Amino acid sequence: KISAEGLRDETRGIYVYSRAAWRESRREMLENTKKIIAEQLALARLSDDEIRARAANDRSLPYNVRSARESLVNLREVLAYNERELADDSAYRDYVAKSLAQAKKLGVEP
């Protein structure tokens, strides 16, 4: 059982977040993803005329807009995954199992 502080043994390279800490880190990831999507949407929504007008001052703008448009699909998938992960309690159990399996694979017994 993982304590409220998590499972940590730095000498053996083991660290597993507590459920609360794991959920908080996932919430932070979700909020960061939302911020990135908002920034990318602002770029992606620029019209060709706006891009040409601003490109004189920012030569990388056309590339940045194209990149933003291409990345939005992936970012939305990441957002949906993060939301599902937070809603599903089994995701934490999977995280713990994978973390402990990784420690075991490295020859470390928790």
Domain ranges of the chain: 7-96
Question: Across the chain, which distance is largest between two alpha carbons, in Å?
Answer: 61
- For the record, the structure tokens of 107 come out as 């020859």
Specify which residues 9 forms β-bridges with.
14
The torsion of the CA quartet 22, 23, 28, 29, rounded to 10 degrees, works out to 70
Per-residue pLDDT of the chain (110 residues; tens, 9 = 90+): 556 566 666 655 667 788 888 899 999 999 999 999 999 999 999 999 999 999 889 999 999 999 999 999 999 999 999 999 888 878 888 888 888 887 777 665 55
Tell me the whole-structure pTM to 2 decimals.
Answer: 0.71
Question: Cα separation of 51 and 96, whole Å?
Answer: 47
Residues 6+ apart with CB under 8 A from 88: none
